Chains A and B, each alone.
Chain A
Amino acid sequence: MRRSLGLLIIPVLSLTLLSGCWNRIELNELAIMVAMGIDKSDDQYVVTAQVVNPGEVAAKSVGAGKTPVSTYQETGSTLLEAIRRVTTIAPRKLYGAHLRVLVIGEELAKEGIGKVLDLLSRDQELRTDYFIVVAKGTKAENILKVLTTLETIPANKLYASLETSEKAWAPTKTITLDELIADLVSKGIQPSITGVQIKGDQKTGESKKNVEQIEPDSLLQYKGISVFKGDKLIGWLSEKESKGFNYTQGKVNSTIVEVPCTEGSEKKVGIELIRTKANLNGTVQNGSPKGTVQIRAEGNVAEVQCKKLDLTKTKTIDQLEKKVEQDIKGTIEAAISKAQEEFEVDMFGFGEAIHRSNPDFWKKVKKDWNQQFVDMPVEVKVDMKIRRIGTIGNSPLNKIK
């Protein structure tokens, strides 16, 4: 008994004590990277890491007056090389599990993002829940150097802002690494990523002064959705087209639609959409593909600028519904025609829809699907219902003389 107990203790103790805390890293040995920017200069990748300065961010911070985040930048011919080289300038090793936002410079995006994504999805430390955005008209490093208010960590601002604007405004979309890679490898859909730009002066955004005034000189703003062909960026959709694109993807949770009170009138009625549902279908008719987009939307009357509109009549409501349907239809068609005529890529996923409905046909056309898509007729059907008109009936404007 004693002997076998002793024999048992030896391996147990040596296993626990000799292997000793392998992989252990204390919290204060981490450089928490919350945002990463990737640019390309010559043949080298330029990696910019936005690292949290925990002492400055925490709720009870003494506030030594330092910035809440710092950026470290290094170059390397591969991404990992650049990331590891950061240790020569930063005191701690970059820790990527809490990455919130990945910003890709527009130049790099135009050259192709495929190679960059390999490391990001291969490394076990990085999770796939961060958002990917493209720096519109600037370098990624510049985006990461702007200090923000309200959310003291700029990466959190980028993350939260994209999430809320997708929910409440519509012309932006969130995309995570796994979704992006799925879009990239599929022939029936082309990737699209929201753009982010600096509004205001970039230089002043870098200093703490930027957040010390009531109206910051420089802000980060999401603007438009980029269109990719393969892994290369080929162009941008305007705000209206981006919204149209998101309608087709069923990604519009809530947005505002403005319609004129009467034909040709300047005064408008604002409708708040509260729910939309999209049905994107691809069929084959007489050997050629045909796309349909069905939108079901619900909304409330949110704002009325005109005097004569009688909201108590169902007829008025019916008319408003018709106008909203027209508006949504126009927006979607604008996006589709832009994709068909200017970019000549299927960013909507009609290819995938046809793949699902008619796999045999898909096999024949998948090689040159983008050409097929350009000539494909797309039918847009919108069905809109107004549910409520808000807390007042007719506009008080009626009684103002």
Chain B
Amino acid sequence: MRAFLRDEFNTTKIGDNERKSVQGGSMRFTKKSLRRRTKSLSKQKQNNSDSTENNGLNRNLNENIQHVKDKTGNSDDIIVREIHIGQDGNLKAGVLFTEGLIDNVSNQNFILESLMVDIRKADLDTNDSYKQNPLQYFKDSVLTVGDIKDITDYDVLFASLLSGKVIFLLDGFAQGYAIGMKGGKDRGVPEATIENTVRGPKEAYTENLRTNTALLRRKIKDQNLWLESKKIGTVTKTDISIAYMNGIANDKVVDEVRERLDRIEIDSILETGYIEELIQDETYTPFPTIFHTERPDVTAGALLEGRIAIFVDGTPHALLVPALFIQFFQTADDYYQRADITTILRLLRFLGFFIALLAPSLYIAITTFHQEMLPTGLLISLAAQREGVPFPAFIEALMMEVTFEILREAGVRMPKAIGQAISIVGTLVIGTAAVEAGIVSAAMVIVVAITAISSFIISSFNIAISVRMLRFIFMALAASFGLFGIIIGLIALVLHLCSLRSFGVPYMSPFAPFIAEDQKDAFFRFPRWALLSRPRLISQKNVEREDSPKPRPKEQK
């Protein structure tokens, strides 16, 4: 029971909080309430299993249809078509499907037409196989479709019906068929919007799981690309796919992913974020330990390094595990552009990381504690700007940073059309007016601006968020202890980063632990012919990657 409780911890917490706030009682998270919650969850499960006890299909077609109608509350997108088959039409059959989830044209052509038109031409009475088993005959000879599965109970019937399959039931048989005929509207393959590249493919994932896995298959045409699927979410029954390269991915990590996914007990999975929060190694960290991408090429690159991708139906993203700190500074373009500029750009991103993290706090620390560190000219110039500013540097910085965060959040949430108005208000009114009114110094506006721009240079939005949060902690440390506080903060940060693991792989590798051969693709990116091996800790078994010689002119004789 205890172990179960712990597993349930993450799942139940959200719902529990909600319930508590409804009750308006004590907000403290107690074991008691947890237990109560768990009980109700298992009761819910019992309800589900109650229905499964007696859920075999009925021999009577009408009863079956009535059952379906009852259970779906007569929802009018569930189409039930009762038909009569055969020359004399004495064989009753039912075709059930959900409108909008299936491909209407195919349904018309290959199921309804076969059953209602083509079969009239056949002489059923003299057909032996028909006589022996009519149901089997339909499967073997009538239904001109590829994906067809037997169903014998209502659970499977509903799951199939509601995930876009056509159900074929025949009167007199406690069995039916689920015919794969998925269709309906989806968005098509869109262009990448978040992870932009200068060079390289433009396609990105869409909300359709099969489209996504197909995009991946197109990149890796190898039988060792294995896909495993499961359904998660007691209510949503969301399709989840795990993709990995058999023989490259570490089996233990694959097992670990499976195990963690199996542990999930939740009503709904609506986005990859649900999965991410439920399977990550460490909850209490500002740093992401799972990478997500919208690009099939990034996914393919990660799989070939031995990582594992998790697709969730309905979201245009794939999760990649294990994720390392350095991975958040690598972009797809890094591998498409030349090695030299890539190395420089990566170093620039790290510079941006440190500026975004430390610029305001360094400004505060130096101008309020360590004025002797500034060159005299700069000190006088800064002092002149601060002349008449009524707030301490820390409050000044805090005001500007909070203002910027408000603008940024507003920019994200606003309807796109108003976004421009926000930027005008932000830059003109807040920036210029605040300086002219003498509330903040011009130097502080510069610091906040460079901080903001630097946080955008970091390729991954995820790690930029961590930096945004930590920046305020560093500012507080700088305001109370100066550079000393910043150094202590940095030490604590490094210790924390080194303690993190992502699916068993040290987060800070290849720096801590230091792996010399993996430095080729960390701070630097070596030329392609020098990227000989896969990252050591991720794959572990199949490390050899290429044997291309360094390109050079043919030797003259």
Contacts and interface: CB of A to CB of B under 8 A. Distances in A.
Interface in B465-479: 476-477, 479
Nearest to A153: B380
Contacts of B385: 58
A26 interface: yes
B367 interface: yes
Contacts of B392: 24, 26
B383 interface: yes
Interface stretch (A14-22, A195-203, A333-341): A14-22
B440 to A, nearest CB: 13
Interface string A43-69: 000000000101101110100000000
B449 to A, nearest CB: 18
A34 B368 CA distance: 19
B367 A16 contact: no
B388 interface: yes
A30 B368 contact: no
Q: Which of B386, B476, B477 has the most CB of A within 10 A?
A: B386
A55 B371 contact: no
B383 A21 contact: no
Given A54-B380, A98-B379, A30 B476 contact: no
Interface string A20-34: 110111111010101
B372 interface: yes
B505 interface: no
B368 A24 contact: yes
B192 to A, nearest CB: 41
B387 A54 contact: yes
A30 B383 contact: yes
B393 A26 contact: yes
B382 interface: yes
Interface residues of B, number: 25
A57 B376 CA distance: 12
A59 B376 CA distance: 14
Contacts of B387: 28, 54-55
B406 interface: no
Interface string B372-408: 1000100111111111110011000000000000000
B384 A54 contact: yes
Contacts of B379: 27, 32, 98
B384 A26 contact: no
B480 interface: yes
Interface residues of A, number: 29
Contacts of A125: 372
B480 A21 contact: yes
Contact of B372 (A17, A34, A127): A127
A145 B388 CA distance: 27
Contacts of A156: 376
Contacts of B479: 21, 24
A54 B376 contact: no
Contact of B376 (A17, A25, A28, A100): A100
Contact of A97 (B371, B477, B481): B371
Interface string B211-249: 000000000000000000000000000000000000000
A27 B367 contact: yes
A95 interface: yes
Given A16-B477, A34-B376, A100-B376, A24 B369 contact: yes
B390 to A, nearest CB: 10
A24 B369 CA distance: 5
A100 B372 CA distance: 12
A58 B384 contact: yes
Given A16-B476, A16-B477, A21-B480, A27 B371 contact: yes
Given A28-B387, A28-B389, A95-B371, A19 B480 contact: yes
Given A28-B388, A32-B379, A57-B384, A98 B367 contact: no
Given A16-B480, A19-B480, A20-B480, A98 B372 contact: yes
Contacts of A16: 476-477, 480-481
Contacts of B383: 27-28, 30, 32, 52, 54
A100 B379 CA distance: 13
Q: Which of A25, A27, A32, A156 has the most CB of B within 10 A?
A: A27
Contacts of A27: 367-368, 371, 379, 382-383, 386, 393
B380 A57 contact: yes
A139 B385 CA distance: 34
A320 to B, nearest CB: 43
A21 B369 CA distance: 9
A229 to B, nearest CB: 34
B477 A98 contact: no
Nearest to B366: A27
Contacts of A17: 480
Given A54-B384, A57-B380, A26 B369 contact: no
Contacts of B389: 28
A54 B384 CA distance: 4
Interface string A92-104: 0001011010000
Given A19-B480, A28-B386, A98-B376, A58 B381 contact: yes
Contacts of B376: 32, 34, 98, 100, 156
A25 B368 contact: yes
A23 B367 contact: no
Nearest to B391: A26
A24 B381 CA distance: 20
A20 B392 CA distance: 13
Nearest to B367: A27
30 contacts: A16-B476, A16-B481, A19-B481, A24-B368, A24-B392, A25-B369, A25-B371, A26-B392, A27-B368, A27-B379, A27-B393, A28-B383, A28-B386, A28-B387, A28-B388, A30-B371, A30-B383, A32-B376, A32-B380, A34-B376, A54-B383, A54-B384, A54-B387, A55-B384, A57-B381, A58-B384, A95-B371, A98-B371, A98-B376, A125-B372
Interface of B: 367-369, 371-372, 376, 379-389, 392-393, 476-477, 479-482
Task: Please provide the 5 A-B residue pairs with the shortest distance between their CB atoms, ordered closest to farther.
Answer: A58-B384, A97-B372, A54-B384, A54-B383, A28-B386
Interface of A: 16-17, 19-21, 23-28, 30, 32, 34, 52, 54-55, 57-59, 61, 95, 97-98, 100, 125, 127, 153, 156
